[in-house]
């Protein structure tokens, strides 16, 4: 898909962070955008902010609910009769913890949003997109943390994003083998430190899935930057609008993996493969900051 002008795009988690920037760049490219987000106030804000930038609507959406995603799809198809671009972008994270100190609610909430949200989006939209017979594309947001190499203290989040990467690969292969007019990509937000709402996702955590144990305060972006610098890694903050433009260009270029600095990921994966080939732990603990 080379031209987004006039195309209908759906972005979950589109009211803040990377999702907001994707919405902004889609509008700049002439797309008609439907934003799905669980935060009413944030949704109202982004709709007001971009009201003159193009055609934009919003639907309060809880991606962990299949019913909520079906409702979003119903509204999109009732209004436009088509969806060309589906961005399964919404995501949350749990506090850093040893695996044995994570809780049932950590796993239920994070995997419900990050994995369930992608699957609910696929089930709600992809059958209709296939039936419509038009060219379309699905973009699932993963993370280098899990999709490439996990941070050991983020087992809940990293495992969810590893699952998103696997789902995306299977989806893309199946869309090709079934000879549909759809394709898929996995998007790895990258290029530097990402100052997004993922650092404060507890604001959207349902009371019934509150963490059962107390935990250390979630590190701020500044805390993480300091920890990485202590590990010898200097990170610059990535401009989110630039990242969104890179994502859209990746779609135009028909890339399955959309990631700034993907060459570095290749090196990381080669090193992990070599350790696996030696029956060793793939994670290099010396390179991992402990937060």
**Which mean pLDDT values do the consecutive 10-residue runs of the chain (291 residues) have?**
95 96 98 97 96 96 98 98 98 92 96 98 98 97 95 94 98 98 97 83 88 77 76 82 97 97 94 96 74 46
The helices-and-strands tally (H runs, E runs) of the chain is 10, 7
What is the predicted pLDDT for the residue at 247? 98
Eight-state DSSP code of residue 35: E
What is the predicted pLDDT for the residue at 289? 56
Domains, the chain, with CATH or none: 8-278 (3.40.50.720)
- Would you please indicate which residues are annotated as catalytic (active-site) residues? 157
Residues 6 or more apart whose Cβ sits within 8 Å of residue 251: 1, 85, 137, 139, 185, 258
Residue 85, CA distances (Å) to 9, 19, 140, 199 in order: 4, 13, 11, 27
Angle formed at CA 212 by CA 211 and CA 213, multiple of 5 degrees: 95
What is the predicted pLDDT for the residue at 197? 78
**Half-sphere exposure of 99 toward its Cβ, with a 13 Å CA cutoff?**
6
What is the predicted pLDDT for the residue at 53? 96
What does the alpha-carbon distance between residue 62 and residue 112 come to, in Å, rounded to a whole number?
Answer: 10
Burial tier of 262 (Cβ tally within 10 Å: 0-12, 13-18, 19+): middle
Residues 6 or more apart whose Cβ sits within 8 Å of residue 291: 96, 153, 219, 223, 224, 227
What does the alpha-carbon distance between residue 225 and residue 234 come to, in Å, rounded to a whole number?
Answer: 8
What is this structure's pTM?
Answer: 0.93
What does the alpha-carbon distance between residue 179 and residue 184 come to, in Å, rounded to a whole number?
Answer: 13
What is the predicted pLDDT for the residue at 236? 84
The answer to whether 80 touches 126, Cβ cutoff 8 Å, is no
């Amino acid at each position: 898909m080379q031209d987004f002008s006039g195309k209908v795009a759906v972005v979950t988690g589109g009211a803040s962070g990377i999702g907001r920037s994707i919405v902004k760049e889609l509008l700049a490219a002439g797309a008609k955008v439907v934003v799905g987000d669980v935060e009413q106030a944030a949704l109202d804000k982004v709709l007001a902010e971009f009201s003159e930038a193009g055609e934009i609507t919003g639907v309060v959406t809880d991606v962990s609910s299949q019913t909520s995603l079906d409702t979003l799809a119903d509204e999109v198809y009732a209004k436009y009769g088509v969806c060309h671009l589906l961005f399964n972008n919404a995501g949350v994270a749990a506090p850093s913890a040893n695996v044995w100190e994570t809780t049932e609610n950590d796993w239920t909430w994070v995997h419900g949003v990050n994995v369930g949200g992608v699957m609910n989006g696929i089930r709600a939209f992809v059958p209709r997109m296939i039936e419509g017979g038009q060219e379309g594309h699905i973009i699932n947001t993963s993370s280098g943390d899990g999709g490439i190499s996990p941070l050991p203290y983020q087992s809940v989040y990293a495992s969810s994003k590893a699952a998103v990467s696997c789902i995306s690969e299977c989806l893309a292969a199946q869309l090709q083998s079934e000879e549909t007019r759809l394709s898929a990509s996995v998007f790895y937000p990258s290029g530097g430190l990402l100052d997004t709402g993922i650092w404060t996702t507890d604001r959207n955590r349902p009371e019934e899935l509150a963490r059962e144990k107390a935990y250390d305060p979630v590190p701020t972006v500044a805390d993480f930057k300091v920890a990485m610098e202590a590990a010898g890694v200097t990170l610059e903050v990535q401009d989110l609008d630039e990242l969104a433009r890179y994502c859209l260009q990746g779609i135009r270029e028909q890339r399955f993996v959309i990631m700034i600095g993907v060459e570095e990921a290749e090196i990381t994966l080669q090193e992990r493969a070599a350790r696996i080939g030696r029956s060793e732990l793939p994670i290099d603990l010396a390179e991992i900051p402990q937060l």
